[in-house]
Copies of this chain bind each other. A is one copy, B any other.
Amino acid sequence: MSNKPTAAAIPGNTIGRLSLYRRLLQELLAQGTRQVYSHQLARLAVSTPSQVRRDLMTIGFSGSPRRGYTISELLANIEGLLARSIETSVALVGVGNLGRAILAYYANRQPVRFAAAFDRAPEKTGRILHGCRCYPVSEMAEVIAREQIHVGVIAVPAAEAQGVADQLVLAGVRGILNFAPVRLHVPAGLYVEHVDLMMALDKVAYYAHQQVEQQDSSR
């Protein structure tokens, strides 16, 4: 296989921060700012100048020593990298409380397009929610192929998640964002990102409590 120097497997943490930089740069640009220094971006991202420079170095972007980085160029660079020029089409499975909130949030929001939603319950299918048509699960393979969907978002109950993941994989999806509180097993090479609210809250609660204890013991 021929390895282009461009496709050099950027680590996940860096991708996450680039996603954040993109939002910040979009805001700056909207405010009319043209140039930005690493320390400015770092302050906005609650990070360090070194980290910012290292990240931009990772994607091969260069600034000018006295002027900093040109926002429009940097933004184009990051967007090209994250979106790979074509808009990402996404499918949602599970149009419950969380699923509807997600659809509402991403409605008309670049650069992600929810091209289809799926639900098992007949009363949810057939409608259009926030610009996204809801299909019965039986049509999943067909719709995902037709709409060229490469990413699936799972928002079904925990017991259903693995089954839905299997269906998505079978339908040709390459990456999954999973909100159900179970770890999914997928074939090697496919990418799964877990968003686990219970875990997130446990983390906050743990460190918050630790704070309280340290405060108590230091008096």
Contact indicator per residue, chain A 195-210, by CB within 8 Å of chain B (1) or not (0): 1111111111111111
Known A-B contacts A19-B199, A151-B201, A203-B193; A208 and B97 likewise in contact (beta carbons under 8 Å): no
Chain A 150-181 interface residues, beta-carbon cutoff 8 Å to B: 150-151, 153, 173-177, 181
Bound CA span A203–B17, Å: 10
What distance in Å separates the Cβ of A21 from its nearest Cβ neighbour in chain B? 11
What distance in Å separates the Cβ of A71 from its nearest Cβ neighbour in chain B? 18
- Among the 9-residue stretches A48-56, A100-108, A118-126, the one with 4 or more Cβ atoms under 8 Å from chain B is A100-108
Q: Are B206 and A177 in contact (CB under 8 A)?
A: no
Any chain B CB within 8 A of the CB of A190?
Answer: yes
| Chain A, interface residues (CB within 8 Å), range | 35 or more
Q: Are A185 and B46 in contact (CB under 8 A)?
A: yes
Any chain B CB within 8 A of the CB of A218?
Answer: yes
Bound CA span A193–B208, Å: 11
Residues of B within 8 A of A175 (CB): 204-205, 207-208, 211
Bound CA span A100–B99, Å: 12
Q: Are A211 and B184 in contact (CB under 8 A)?
A: no
Any chain B CB within 8 A of the CB of A133?
Answer: no
Q: In the complex, which of the residues B101, B102, B204 contacts A177, with contact meaning CB atoms closer than 8 Å?
A: B204
Q: Are A202 and B105 in contact (CB under 8 A)?
A: no
Q: Are A44 and B183 in contact (CB under 8 A)?
A: yes
Residues of B within 8 A of A177 (CB): 200-201, 204
Bound CA span A98–B12, Å: 26
Q: Top 10 closest A-B pairs, CB basis?
A: A175-B208, A191-B207, A174-B208, A19-B202, A97-B101, A46-B183, A175-B204, A88-B205, A174-B211, A19-B199
